[in-house]
Structure 1
Amino acid sequence: MDTTYAALKLGMDVEKLEKWENGEHSPTIRQLRNLAKAYRINFGALFLPEPPSTFKPPVKDYRLHHGAVAGAIDPEIAIDLRLHLNAREVALELESDLGEEHPSFELSCSLDDSPVEVAEKIRTALGVSFQVQKRFRESRVAFNSWRDAIANSGVLVIQSSKVALNDMRGYSVFFEKLPLLVVNRKDAYSARTFTLVHELVHLLLRSSGLCDLNSDPGRPPHEQKLEVFCNAVASQALVPDAILLSYPEIRGVTPEAWTDEILAPIARDFGVSREVVLRKLLDHGLTTRAFYLDNRERYTQEAIEYKQRQKSGFVPPAVDVLSTKGRQYVSLVFEALNSSVITVGDAADFLGVKAKHFSTIQTNLRRSV
C-alpha cells in the first residue's frame, strides 16, 4: 500500500501516518494493532528491527478492466495472494510433519493442443462424466463437486471472500507440488465453476495468472491466445460439444428464438449458467452475437437484482472456514491436530477460527456436498 491508500484504509490523515513512518510521532499499542489488522500482518512484525521483505505477487495480470496493467496489482489482491500462498506453505509443512509426500501435479497441455482433447483429458482425470454432471441439478452442488474433484487432483483450491468481484474473479499460481487456485466467493456459483476450470487450464499450461476471463482482442497476441484457449477448454470441459449438439431441444430453433424454457433445463443438466449454453450456441452459429449480448446483459442484471434481494446475513465461522479454505485443507489441519503434530492454538491460527468452533467444523466435514 502507498501512504495515501493506507491512510484511507485506516481512516486517518496521511500526514499523521507519515509522521509515524518517519519516527516523528509514535502510535499507541491500540493504533499499532489497527495497523497490523489493516496490513493483514502479524502484530509482532511491527516490532522487528527491520521491515519484512516486500511481497511480490508471483502472477501475471491478465485483467483488462479499470485500466489494469501488468504489475499494478491492487493491494487487497496482493494481501489475498500472500495469505493464500502462506496457507499453501502451511499445508505442505503439515504433510511433511505427518510423513506424507504430496504428489506432483502431472496434468499438462500446450497451446497447440486441441481444446476438445484437453477438455476430455480434464474430464477423465477428474472423473466428471455427463452422467455425474446430470446428478448435480443445482449450481451450488456443481461448483462444490468440481472444486473437490480439482482439489483431489493435487491442487489447493481456496475461495477469496475479501476482494471485490469487479477487481478479481480468480487467479492461479503454478507449483510442481500443490499449485494454488483461487476463485472469488462473491461471484455466482455457475460463474465460479467456469472460473475454476479456466484457472485449472492455466495450471495445465504451467501459467500463473490473475484473470477476469476476458479474451478481448485488445490484448497482446500471446495473452489473447492464452485466454481464448483457457476459455475454450473450460467451455468444452463443462459443456462438451458432442453432448450439447445431441439435444433434440436445440433442433429447429431459429437464431433469436432461444428462450429460458429451452436453455434453463439444458444448463441445469450441465450445472452451468444459461449464458454458457447460449455462448456455446453462438460458437456453433446457432444464434446471433447481438442476441447473445442482449441476453448476457439480462442475465447479469438478473444476478445483480437477485443478490440485492438476498440478505447479507452473518456466515457462521464453522461454515465460512470450509467455504473459504476447502475440505482438503481443513481436513489436513485436523489430521495434524489429532496426531499431536500441532497444538489447538496452531490449528486455530491456521484455520482463522476459535477452537470453540472445532466440533461443528468436524461435523460439517463429515457431511456430503
Structure 2
Amino acid sequence: MADKAFITFEILKWARESARISVEDAAKKVSVSPERYLTWESGSDFPTIRQAQVLAKSFKRPFSLLFLPKIPKDFQPLQDYRRNDSKKLDTASLFIIREVQEKQNWISEFFEDMGESPLPFVGKFSINDNPEIVANDILNTLNINPANYNKTPINEWIEKAEASGVFVSRASNYHSRLLLDRDLIQGFAIADRYAPFLFVNSKNNWSAPQLFTLVHELAHIWIAKSGISNEVDIEYSKRPLSRFHPVELFCNLVAANALMPKEIITQLERNIFDSNNLIFKQSKELGVSSFAFLVRALNLNLITISEYKLLKDDAETEFEIFLEKERLKKEKQKEKKNGPNPYLLRLNKNSRLFTRIVMDSFNNGSLSPSIASNLLNTQINNFQKFEKLLT
C-alpha cells in the first residue's frame, strides 16, 4: 500500500480554492471521486504521497507547503481596476499573476541587496497630473519618438522599456491547456521602485492592442498604481464613463498621448481622412489600430462625429479583411515551422531582461542551478537556447 502524505487539510483546501479549481477538477487530476477527494480536505483521510505531489503541481504550489501547520501568507492580490461587473479571474489569470509576482519579488530583492538605486520614474506622477505631461515623460525617459521608429513599434517599446529598467512579460497562455482570456485580463503592472514589472496578454497576435496595453501599463508604473486591466484601447462614447475606474481612464489617455502625440497627429495632411487605406497605413506606422487613431483624431477635433462614425464603419470592414489575411499567413507559417519556437515564447513570458539577469547570475556562480532553473522554468542544459535568442 502506498505511503500516505500527512498534509494539513486546511492548506490543501486553500491551495485549491486560491487556484480557482473545482473539487471535481481536482479529483480528476488524481483519478478519484469528488467524495473521496473531499475526505482529504476534511482531514478524515489523506492522499498518497504521489497524489499529493500531483495536486501541489496542479495548484502551482510547492509540495512542502502542504505540510505547513497553518496557511502561509500569500502574495498580496493586485488592485483590480477592471469594471465592477467583470467576471472573476480564472485559473490561468491567477497563475500568470502569481508567476510574475514571484519573478518580480525575487528580482526586486536581488537589486535591493546589490545596492541598486530605485528608479526615479516609478510614482513620479499621480492621476491628478496632466496625462499629456505624463506621456511626454514616458517618451523622454524611454527615448522614443513615435514619428521615427527604428524597429516595429512594439519591439522598440519593449526594448527601450527594458533598457530603462522595466521588465516586460508577454504570453497568451499559462501553458498549453490554460489559455488567457483577453476579456478577463489584458495586462497588469507591478509598480515596484527597484524592479517594475508589466504583463501583456498576447492572446491577440495583432501587435496594435498589445502595444496600447503595454503603454497603458507603463502609465500605471509612472503613477505607481499596481493593478489589473481589461478595458484597454476602447471607444467609450456608447458607455457611461462612470462604469470605468478613473485610473484606467487616465492610463488610456496617457497611452493615447504617448502613441499618438498631438504634435504628430495635428500635422498630418487633412486628406489622410479621405482614404481608409491612408488611415490604415498611418495607424500601422504608429503601431496603433485604425479605431484608436480615429478616436484620437475625433478628440483632437480633426474630424467630426459624423465623419468618425462613417470612417469607423469602413475601418471595421477593412480590419476584418486584414485579420483574415493575418490568420491565413500564420496558418502557413505554422505549417512550415511546426509552430512558434517554444523557447522564444518562454523568453517573452519570462521577460528578456529578467532572463538575461538570471542567466548572468547563474554563469558567474552567484545563483544556484536549481533557483535559476525554477526562475526561468527551464532546465539548465537548455539555457543555451535562450543564449542564442538573446544575442
TM-score w.r.t. length of structure 1: 0.83
Whether 1:237 aligns to 2:262 is no
Shift of 1:32: 2.0
Alignment of 1:173-184 (within 5 A): 173-184=190-201
Equivalent position to 2:349, from 297, 316, 324: 324
State whether residues 63 and 210 of structure 1, in contact with CA within 8 Å, keep that contact through their aligned partners in structure 2: no
Comparing 53-62 and 201-210, the one that deviates more: 53-62
Q: Which amino acid is 2:98 matched to?
A: R
- Partner of 1:28 in structure 2? 48
Q: Which amino acid is 1:237 matched to?
A: A
For 1:247 and 1:290, the matched residues in 2 are separated by 20
For 2:181 and 2:81, the matched residues in 1 are separated by 16
Q: Which amino acid is 2:167 matched to?
A: L
State whether residues 219 and 251 of structure 2, in contact with CA within 8 Å, keep that contact through their aligned partners in structure 1: yes
- Partner of 1:275 in structure 2? 291
Q: Which amino acid is 1:280 matched to?
A: R
Equivalent position to 2:358, from 333, 345, 361: 333
Q: CA RMSD of the aligned region, Å?
A: 2.9
Q: Which amino acid is 2:107 matched to?
A: A
Change (3 A) 1:349 1:4: closer
Identical pairs, percent: 23
Change (3 A) 1:219 1:267: closer
TM-score w.r.t. length of structure 2: 0.79
For 1:304 and 1:62, the matched residues in 2 are separated by 30
- Partner of 1:17 in structure 2? 37
Change (3 A) 1:304 1:251: closer
For 1:285 and 1:9, the matched residues in 2 are separated by 54
Alignment of 1:278-293 (within 5 A): 278-283=294-299, 284-286=301-303, 287-289=307-309, 291-292=311-312
Comparing 40-49 and 211-220, the one that deviates more: 211-220
Structure 2: gaps (5+ residues):
1-15, 175-179
- Partner of 2:7 in structure 1? none
What's the CA shift string for 1:281-300, capped at 9, x where partnerless?
Answer: 23235132364266348636
Shift of 1:270: 1.5
Change (3 A) 1:50 1:215: farther
Q: Which amino acid is 2:226 matched to?
A: S
Equivalent position to 2:390, from 357, 365, 369: 365
Shift of 1:89: 1.8
Question: Residue 169 of structure 2 aligns to a residue in which SS?
Answer: strand
Alignment of 1:111-130 (within 5 A): 111-130=127-146
- Partner of 1:202 in structure 2? 220
Equivalent position to 1:150, from 148, 161, 165: 161
State whether residues 89 and 184 of structure 2, in contact with CA within 8 Å, keep that contact through their aligned partners in structure 1: no
Q: Which amino acid is 1:234 matched to?
A: A
For 1:105 and 1:231, the matched residues in 2 are separated by 22
Shift of 1:68: 1.8
Change (3 A) 1:215 1:295: closer
- Partner of 2:8 in structure 1? none
Change (3 A) 1:11 1:174: same
Q: Which amino acid is 1:191 matched to?
A: P
Change (3 A) 1:119 1:132: same
What's the CA shift string for 1:234-281, capped at 9, x where partnerless?
Answer: 011111122122222x3374xxx541x112221232122323222222
Change (3 A) 1:56 1:290: farther
Shift of 1:304: 7.3
Equivalent position to 2:60, from 16, 31, 40: 40
Question: Residue 171 of structure 1 aligns to a residue in which SS?
Answer: strand
Structure 1: gaps (5+ residues):
none
Structure scoring higher RCO (CA < 8 A, sep ≥ 6) equals 1
Question: Residue 111 of structure 1 aligns to a residue in which SS?
Answer: coil
Shift of 1:342: 1.2
